[in-house]
Chain A
Amino acid sequence: MRCGDFKETYIKDEEIFQSLFVKFCLGMFLLFLLVFPFAADAYMLYIANMIGFAVIGAVGLNLLTGFTGQISLGHAAFVGVGAYTSAILVTRLGFSFWLSIPFAGLVAALAGMIIGIPSLRVKGLYLCIATLAAQFIFEFIFIHWESMTKGITGINIPHPRIGSLEFITEKEFYWITLFFVVLGVGYARNLVRSRMGRAFVAIRDRDLSAEIIGINLFRYKLSAFAISSFYAGVAGALWVTFLKVVTPDHFPFILSIQYLAMIIVGGLGSVLGSIFGAVFITLTPELLNYLSEIVKMYALGHEEIFVPMKEVIFGLLIVLFLIFEPRGLAEIWNRFKNFFRLWPFSY
């Protein structure tokens, strides 16, 4: 359907959304996102919000791991730093929620830059372990710096408001989430098609020639860590405000792994892939829950088998993805698009 679509100016050819049809589809999708909360129940909106936070976090991690090639096992730590920063600013210093979000991002970015310093010397698995250290250091801080974080009892967070407009329910919070998701995704997509994003990919693909063409590796690696952690911090701040409470339990090591799973399943080095991955990893357990409820109804007395099966199937799905579609959901999407480019008259 997109064949015969020729560009006449460079501006047209540099656009993200290349044809009128694609723009139309995007418009319809945005419209769907705007109408969705009026049709959905509280549970669905809860899931939608969770997907939103996951998207922001996953886009951030993909900028670091997928685009710049610096593997991080400490993403949950930065989510936590952002979450605690926002919570502490709002409860102790009387910041408004809105003002606390950029601060949460900035503090997380700073933490990310410090953790990213070893990246200049170490790569791959070694960097993995270095960032893993971050995860445990920050978890320790969240638990034991009780004067600031209130330890395992956690901090209760008031709901955000603009004037008299309060954001309490899932439906009201949905608008906040949607706003930040659109902002975050749009920024990332633009970043990766401009100078800085190209430099990131250059570092991933071949750092030696990146240096030859004048890319300062140290600066760009740290920038990648900073931007990635900024996303994580914002995601964290939104998430705990939504939950109305923050405790150290929210940021376990498994959350870092989940973020990695999102970008691997979705597609490394693709902004769209991070969205697919975030949706997949958040939705699948819920779908499996739902399925196991149904199965339980028909197989009474066998719950002890079916309930853990959920986890097994989830794990299996990820493994199958790695084997059959290592480039992720984004690649499936690309193939799908290419198929329809010439459809119905291929050749």
Chain B
Amino acid sequence: MEDREEYQLRVEDIHLSFGGHKALNGISTGVRKGEVFSIIGPNGAGKTCLLNCINRFYHPEKGSVILEGQDISHFKTHAIAGLGIARTFQNIELFGHMSVLDNIKLGAHVHLKSGFFSGGIYFGKSRKEEIELRKHIEEKIIDLLEIEQIRKSIVHSLPYGLQKRVELARALAMKPKILLLDEPATGMNLEETEDIARFILDINEAWEITIILIEHDMGVVMDISDRVCVLDFGAKIAEGKPEEIRNNEHVIKAYLGEEDITYSRLGA
């Protein structure tokens, strides 16, 4: 905790439980500006819960989320987008009946100004705004993620891998400072996984966006992360550089299991 001041986003002592089940048990960690920070752990370790707490989907019983020195624990869910935190989901959460372009445009919602009056007239400022948005999306985001050919397709008709990319595009349209990626490479073949890893690095370097990544593909995690945090049963068991994590005995135990631990998990 000696370097907590330099964290761009940090969580402190987060406790979250569903009924009697403790999902997160006093998690404290933080991410520095410009980092690729990965959160790993076995299934049910609380990784997605942690993102949901940052996002204000879940309201932790205890603990705080601090973005650039400001406590955002009391913000409404929809206000988080305006602060520059974007997110993709494990199970794609796109707007299925809209075109790819409209989905990405929606990402920019908080950066647009037209209301029910100017939007309905669609002239002058609001028209200019729409055209500029379109230009930005086409030339920056669609070009980066290589989805030119599907920009007018309806989202639910697209294959899984492309939908994941569209979701990433929508998150980018939010012009975030911090991007939370929840298993971006799940269900992809090797080539698609490599594409996603490349996109993440591009975004991180060229756009200077801090990345918080949850991923089960250890190859990706170890290759692109600056730091890795390991959760198990709602508690943090390790944090550090990829090579440190790889050799950490707690981590190996959590993943591969050990007889004593297996017993204790069963409550014996």
Interface residues of A (CB under 8 A from B): 10-11, 13-14, 187-188, 190-191, 193-199, 201-202, 204-206, 208-217, 223, 227, 269
Contacts and interface: CB of A to CB of B under 8 A. Distances in A.
Given A199-B106, A209-B89, A190 B120 contact: yes
Contacts of A204: 97
Interface stretch (B39-47, B128-136, B197-205): B128-136
Interface string B96-138: 1110001001110110111110111110001000110011001
A209 B94 contact: yes
A227 B116 contact: yes
A128 B77 CA distance: 26
29 contacts: A10-B134, A14-B130, A190-B120, A190-B121, A191-B116, A194-B122, A194-B126, A195-B112, A195-B114, A195-B126, A198-B98, A198-B109, A201-B95, A201-B97, A201-B102, A202-B109, A205-B95, A205-B98, A206-B96, A208-B93, A209-B93, A210-B106, A212-B78, A212-B80, A213-B81, A213-B106, A213-B170, A214-B79, A215-B78
A135 B114 CA distance: 33
B87 A193 contact: no
A206 B78 contact: no
Given A190-B119, A212-B78, 18 more contacts: A14-B134, A191-B116, A194-B122, A194-B130, A195-B114, A196-B114, A198-B102, A199-B106, A209-B95, A211-B77, A212-B57, A212-B80, A213-B86, A213-B110, A214-B82, A215-B78, A216-B76, A223-B116
B174 interface: yes
Interface residues of B, number: 42
B95 A191 contact: no
A206 B109 contact: no
Contacts of B82: 214
B64 interface: no
B55 interface: yes
B19 to A, nearest CB: 21
A269 B89 CA distance: 26
A265 to B, nearest CB: 19
B171 to A, nearest CB: 8
Given A205-B96, A213-B170, A198 B106 contact: yes
B85 to A, nearest CB: 9
B114 A194 contact: yes
A269 B97 contact: yes
A11 B89 CA distance: 32
A213 B116 CA distance: 19
A14 B118 CA distance: 16
Contacts of B107: 213
A76 B102 CA distance: 32
A191 B116 CA distance: 7
A167 B105 CA distance: 45
B interface secondary structure, majority:
helix
A196 B76 CA distance: 20
A11 B134 CA distance: 9
Closest 8 CB pairs of A and B: A214-B81, A194-B119, A190-B122, A205-B95, A214-B110, A209-B93, A187-B120, A191-B120
A interface secondary structure, majority:
helix
Given A190-B121, A194-B119, A213 B134 contact: no
A196 B106 CA distance: 10
B87 to A, nearest CB: 5
B87 A212 contact: yes
A212 B106 CA distance: 11
B120 A212 contact: no
Interface in B46-102: 55, 57, 76-82, 86-87, 89, 93-98, 102
A196 B122 contact: no
A208 B120 CA distance: 25
A290 B95 CA distance: 45
A334 to B, nearest CB: 12
A255 B81 CA distance: 41
Contacts of A214: 78-82, 109-110, 174
Contacts of B119: 190-191, 194-197
B95 A202 contact: yes
A212 B120 CA distance: 25
A195 B114 CA distance: 7
Nearest to A217: B78
Contacts of B120: 187-188, 190-191, 194, 196
A316 B105 CA distance: 41
Contacts of B109: 195, 198-199, 202, 213-215
Nearest to B128: A11
B58 to A, nearest CB: 12
A214 B109 CA distance: 7
A199 B105 CA distance: 10
B121 A213 contact: no
B93 A206 contact: yes
A106 to B, nearest CB: 13
B89 A13 contact: no
B121 A205 contact: no
Contacts of B102: 198, 201
B122 A193 contact: yes
Given A202-B106, A209-B95, A211-B77, A14 B116 contact: no
Nearest to B115: A196
Given A205-B96, A209-B94, A214-B82, A187 B131 contact: no
Given A194-B114, A206-B96, A213-B81, A10 B131 contact: yes
Nearest to A219: B78
A290 B81 CA distance: 58
